[in-house]
Amino acid sequence: QKEVEQDPGPLSVPEGAIVSLNCTYSNSAFQYFMWYRQYSRKGPELLMYTYSSGNKEDGRFTAQVDKSSKYISLFIRDSQPSDSATYLCAMSAPGGSYIPTFGRGTSLIVHP
């Protein structure tokens, strides 16, 4: 079992839909949770960064962490064609060098 599991998709939705992207993990030591967006042939771009459990909102994006279930989510409201990209979750544990473990990424397609 991989430490971080993420459905590769693709996930295809119409413009304006609410998108839910998810990751599960097995390492209970993970405390820091990140979401990155990666456009085709570009470097990943940090979208959201949360610590421990709870919700964090930034514009149309909401990150949710449920440590009891070892499950994290990224919600995108009012999705736009420009949101079409691959979304990678990442997580790390305190101590040491905080090297994050990345999920494989979910490909999202928002069609007009």
Cβ of residue 105: shortest distance to another protein, in angstroms?
7
User: Which residues, 6 or more positions from 71, have their beta carbon under 8 angstroms from its beta carbon?
Assistant: 22, 23, 24, 25, 65
Applying CB under 8 A, which of residues 12, 16, 69, 98 lies at the interface with another protein? Answer: 98
Alpha helices in the chain (DSSP H): none
| Single-letter residue type at 9 | G
Of 9-17, 19-27, 74-82, 96-104, which segment contacts another protein by CB under 8 A? 96-104
Nearer to another protein, 49 or 75 (CB): 49
Residue 102 touching another protein (CB under 8 A): yes
Q: Is the dihedral of CA 4, 63, 79, 19 positive or negative?
A: positive
Nearer to another protein, 96 or 112 (CB): 96
